[in-house]
Structure 1
Amino acid sequence: MPVVLDADAAAVYKAFQEAGRPAYETLTAPEAREYYRAARLVSNPEPPALHSSKELSIPAPHGAIPARIYTPKTLRKSNGLAPCLVFYHGGGWVIGDLDTHEVVCQKLAHEGELIVISVDYRLAPEHRFPAAVDDAIIAAKWVAANAKELGIDASRLIVGGDSAGGNLAAVVALAARDGDGPKLAGQLLVYPATEFSRKHPSHREPETSILLTHSVIGWFGDHYLGGADSSDWRASPARAKSFAGLPPAYVLTAGADPLRDEGDEYAKFLKEAGVNVTYRHFPGQFHGFFTMGKLLNQANIAVSEISAWLKALG
């Protein structure tokens, strides 16, 4: 069935086309980061008022991992401690940072009434696979180990992210299940990248090559993997041997998205393994819409629905 963009998504896509912005694959990684940052700052909605936002420094063997902790005015506390979402930003493991995803993290903290810690993992090609994975796991373990000092209930720790960040969240959940990380209460996977083979039909449909184009996916993958084995489950979590025993998942997909089918497939893998899965599909949206609440109301709806799911976890 042909993909038809919602009217507002079509208008945003047209504006991006008319702006004449260069394709990311024609730029250096630093140049692409600047373009991505500028686009995200324009499309972010107004941030909610929070209790606080503070910089964190997470110790790691290679040096500190920058992070940011968002505390809303209203927290769901139990014995004085609150649930926490450890968030990994999207951007193909090459672009994106704490600032590009600040507002969506603020909104999740505010509407979900929980603490959100955003992690600024190392980016490729300066730091190739598995550097981002290592940082993501280290961050989750550090938050769990320092939970009380941070005001966090370690039994209500969730990992999440969008796109490449969804990939990292899925990998962290698998690693934690297998003993390399804390017990998790949930995993939030927003249009996650789960499989590097690009074998799914959505990777070949012309209608899905919007913003996250088919060609830029290859550019991201080449920068990130740098020749590493793409079938490694830490790169392609859909290649994991088992999905049993994983925490409850929220999986979101978009119709006009090359990653649509692999996200849908991953949700099915989880369900078949007995994992509690909430699956949400936005048929008329493109990849990246989740952070564009200023321009796309569906992004705000997604944040609100995810926040309700976070609350339901406890």
Structure 2
Amino acid sequence: MTNQPVDEGMLTFYKELSKHSPPESASWPLAEQRAAWDGVCRMFRAPRPDRLMVEDLDVDGTHVRVYRPPGESPKPGVIYFHGGGWVVGSCETHDDMCAELADQADVVVVMVDYRLAPENPHPAQLEDSLKVLAWMRSAGRALGIDPSHIVGAGDSAGGQMTVGLALALRDQGLPQLRGMVLIYPVLGADIDTSSYIRNANAPCLTRDEMIYYLESFLGPRGSENWSDPYAVPNSACDLSWLPPAYITVAAHDPLCDDGIIFQGKMRAAGLAAALREEPALAHSYMRARHVSKPAMEGFKAIANAVKHLAHEGSLPG
């Protein structure tokens, strides 16, 4: 990684956003944390592309939002898991990003409003993801989805959910995802990596915030969740039969090394894994894409990876 400073456009955006949802909000009561984050994301949300059809559905008690581009169907599908440290976030916080992904990659995106921690720690999120994916495969054609062409994708905590889902599918002998798109993912539980130390007080996500999120999701330190590969993919000893992965990390992010470590483990297992490093960006950079040129370039690369994996089953060249 370079010592390049955070892109000024992203930093300005983050400063404005943090006026409404500051880092210390992690210590607020849960209802206040969630309301503040939903509110600030609505405030800074970009308009959806006009051509999309968007609908909210219930899948056996789990809310999902479906983004469908026009044109011939069925199209490949994407099961998308939003970030937010498993504690905050919803279909409202990631609406514009999922809409633009569906539009740019020409895929049907299904965003999952999974149960949140700490009320619902691991494995509640994995249970929800398996349920929604099974529904996409059984009812997919009615939604315009080709059930044999489904990619998993997610940012931050959603990256963990994507890999956890792929591992569970493998172990249960179920059809595998066509690919994984992991966006500044949290994949480990080691809070003493060089990127955690280097970026302890970085914009968008601090080390202390991440410790709070991990403990909310995994429970008390030393509990079995902390070494469960479904919850902590970098603890997995066996990554065989996982689908190709596109991984993007940001230099100014405590989680930067998580993605780099995971790519190394996949490569060591003989699996296809591409890594894009963003030297001028921080965690959550997708949210700044309309005010930061490097963030928009990073977002377009994500959409291109989704398109390649969904339509062709391979990583971008």
Query: Structure 1 length as normaliser, TM-score?
Result: 0.91
In the TM superposition, 1:261-280 aligns within 5 A as 261-280=257-276
The one-letter amino acid paired with 1:252 is: T
The answer to whether the aligner puts 1:109 opposite 2:106 as a matched pair is: no
The alpha-carbon deviation at position 19 of structure 1 amounts to: 6.3
Cα distance change of structure 1 residues 51 and 310 upon mapping to structure 2, 3 Å threshold = same
The alpha-carbon deviation at position 164 of structure 1 amounts to: 0.3
**Structure 1 counterpart of 2:172, from 173, 179, 191:** 179
CA distance in 2, matches of 1:14, 1:195: 28
In the TM superposition, 1:117-266 aligns within 5 A as 117-179=110-172, 181-206=174-199, 209-227=202-220, 228-229=223-224, 230-266=226-262
The one-letter amino acid paired with 2:102 is: A
CA contact (8 A) 2:76 2:150 kept: yes
Cα distance change of structure 1 residues 37 and 17 upon mapping to structure 2, 3 Å threshold = closer
CA contact (8 A) 1:86 1:118 kept: yes
The one-letter amino acid paired with 1:73 is: P
Aligned to 1:293: 289
CA distance in 2, matches of 1:51, 1:26: 38
The alpha-carbon deviation at position 180 of structure 1 amounts to: 5.6
**Structure 2 counterpart of 1:71, from 47, 68, 73:** 68
User: 135-144 or 188-197: which moved more?
Assistant: 135-144
The answer to whether the aligner puts 1:11 opposite 2:4 as a matched pair is: no
Aligned to 2:298: 302
CA distance in 2, matches of 1:137, 1:200: 31
| Aligned-CA RMSD value | 2.0
- Total equivalences in the alignment: 306
Structure 2 residues without counterparts, runs of 5 or longer: 312-317
The alpha-carbon deviation at position 70 of structure 1 amounts to: 0.5
Cα distance change of structure 1 residues 300 and 206 upon mapping to structure 2, 3 Å threshold = closer
CA contact (8 A) 1:202 1:261 kept: yes
Secondary structure at the residue paired with 2:135? helix
Structure 1 residues without counterparts, runs of 5 or longer: none
User: 140-149 or 281-290: which moved more?
Assistant: 140-149
The one-letter amino acid paired with 1:101 is: H
CA distance in 2, matches of 1:283, 1:164: 21
Cα distance change of structure 1 residues 123 and 158 upon mapping to structure 2, 3 Å threshold = same
Query: Structure 2 length as normaliser, TM-score?
Result: 0.90
Aligned identity (percent) is 29
CA contact (8 A) 2:245 2:272 kept: yes
User: How far does the alpha carbon of each residue in 1:266-303 deviate from its partner, in whole angstroms, 9 at most, with x for none?
Assistant: 11111221222221111111111112333333333223
